[in-house]
Structure 1
Amino acid sequence: MKLNHVNLPVRDVETARDFFTKYFGLVTVQEVGKNFLAILQDDTGLVLNLSHFDKNSTAEVEYHKDFHIGFFVETREEVDRIYQLISADGIGDEAPERKEGRYGFYIAAPGGFVVEVACMEWPKMATPKE
């Protein structure tokens, strides 16, 4: 079994779509209606739906303070590259740092949720003695 998609409700589908395509390389596969649904896909096949199904609502979606989505990359250099791209546009405010077995940062995304970008730096496992 494999997770294949996530739906994130947002008030402004276009702005959220542009955020994910510009900074995280997701590709827009399909759009339905104006500010209704954008279907994005990453290079591993995961689908991210950005939706605004309640056309009568202009309120931001309220996510739990601990809710976030994460992008794991292979190296610190990749974390730093993405952070530089985001911060060059005046969005990033907390520089990457090492904590809790990873090197990365969090950023507030359009839509009211948080995105994590990190590379994992788990401690090396000791090799059992023979």
Structure 2
Amino acid sequence: MKLKHLNLTVTDVSVARNFLEKYFGLTCGASRGNGFATMFDEAGFVLTLMRGSEVHYPNSFHIGFPQESKERVDKINQSLKEDGFDVQPPQQLHSYTFYVEAPGGFTIEVFCHIERELSEN
């Protein structure tokens, strides 16, 4: 079974949609002004954005965009930084990762898994 749909409540659908298109390659299939948008990725995942006057996700809530390499994670991080977003440099934690507060009131994790080499001592 695969998760193929997620709905996010956001404070500004248009701004969140533009952000997701620019940095993460999602495409908007349909929208109704600033109240609703349906977005798709290249694998057919459907992300809907619905406007809410107040958005309160738990502190640990986030959505993730896996990348194919550290270089791609670094490139997205640099693009966000150059465009004025408050992002910390990626770190090697559970994966090579960083977080960004997206316009609209939700958090995004950008990451890639790195195979760790095992060495014999």
TM-score with structure 2 setting the length: 0.90
Partner residue in 2 for 1:86? 80
Q: What root-mean-square deviation, in Å, do the aligned CA atoms of Structure 1 and Structure 2 show?
A: 1.6
Q: Which runs of 5+ in 2 are unaligned?
A: none
Shift of 1:93: 2.4
Shift of 1:124: 5.2
Shift of 1:83: 0.8
Contact kept? 2:65, 2:108, Cα under 8 Å: yes
Output aligned runs, 1:15-54, within 5 Å.
15-31=15-31, 33-52=32-51
Structure 2 Cα separation of the partners of residues 79 and 48 of structure 1: 21
Number of equivalenced pairs? 119
Residue 113, structure 1, aligned to residue 106, structure 2: yes
Answer with 1 or 2: which has the greater Rg.
1
TM-score with structure 1 setting the length: 0.85
Partner residue in 2 for 1:3? 3
Structure 2 Cα separation of the partners of residues 117 and 93 of structure 1: 11
Q: Which runs of 5+ in 1 are unaligned?
A: none
Q: Secondary structure at the match of 2:56?
A: coil
Q: Secondary structure at the match of 1:49?
A: strand
